[in-house]
Structure 1
């Protein structure tokens, strides 16, 4: 598909590269190749504003030891580290639990996601009316570590209940947008996302976005949403990098979000 054109004016959207797919490829053969840390350095050298990982209890891709190593790298580089995960998932094997990882690494941002082992990928946001009371003390613990907290949210989410958790941001789940864009019906998914972003900003929450974003669909989404603090992109970016290289692909995304080349 044709990539979105670079945005006419520079905006404040930050690009965080999700490294999970690098780890999937490594784990498929064992050993250390491809090297997650080398890929991370390449992304940062190309200008990425930060790195994202989503360690899961089944260690299907990013592992706890990766999180620690990437935490040291981002600290040394002075860039943002975003750890995603399910705060309700208990420790298992070498996975100490999301809170324990965050206590050790102290990432700049933690994105809480309601996923389980049976999910191939994150595919829905929280039900804040149901989960808000349980999320509130977890958000407080993470903020006490000086972590910004973002909550994965569907279009149409209960923003008042999300705000009541004490979180700093929501991350809009953009899977339905990507599907609608690919089907040639982007306007079917935009109104709900635009309204949810507007209500979140009005409540004092920052707005991130992520899931199935690509060079093809990212620019149109940013133009529609207005202010977006951060996009987290992994699957499409790593796939596109197979053809054009990781450095070049990161730079293309930076051009779309409006960052200088």
Structure 2
């Protein structure tokens, strides 16, 4: 093996080990072809050790097998550059969401197909579509926090783009909530790691940023808080904030799901 290739591999696996393996080194990292029959193999290995992640070899990934494995184990894609994608994997969360809400499967089929490709869903420069994370924060009186977006001029839920330090999509939503409103994350409780809603919506072109029109795949998580204190708005993006009734949510289905969760 050429020394350059060896150095790239050494650097890659050092990053992978730091990312997935706990300090006590009691877990395993599985590198395999991820073909149709491999979920059974992965489950067999998982019965003997704590599989922290599966790394499928390039060009050997069966989409159905990957979805099957991702229901229980993180799957990280080996890119041609031997560098893992940044941020959390949206496809695993999407699969868990569809298990809970199978009625959305037809509408989200194009998203599922896109996330099964080499798309870097955490990059805001991926203009086919990329993932964002939102927070449906329910406060005192079962009212939902809304913010008024500076650029779009609309009342929206807090949320935004993913960052490399976000371990999960819900953590990204919580971070955005805290940044945009000043509400401390310690005063907020996650209701479920499965999104309460996934919304795909268009974002208009922004010539100033050199961004064409594109789509956001917004993973919305339900949070609860006992405080109504909005201490510091992120004025670069937010002009106002308000606690509104659940039925003020733009989506009727989201309103129904939140109302159901609050019963």
**What TM-score does the superposition give when structure 2 sets the normalisation length?**
0.26
**Larger RCO: 1 or 2 (CA < 8 Å, sep 6+):** 1
Larger radius of gyration: 2
Structure with a larger share of its residues in strand: 2
The structure where helix makes up a greater share of residues is 1
- The TM-score normalised by the length of structure 1 is 0.26
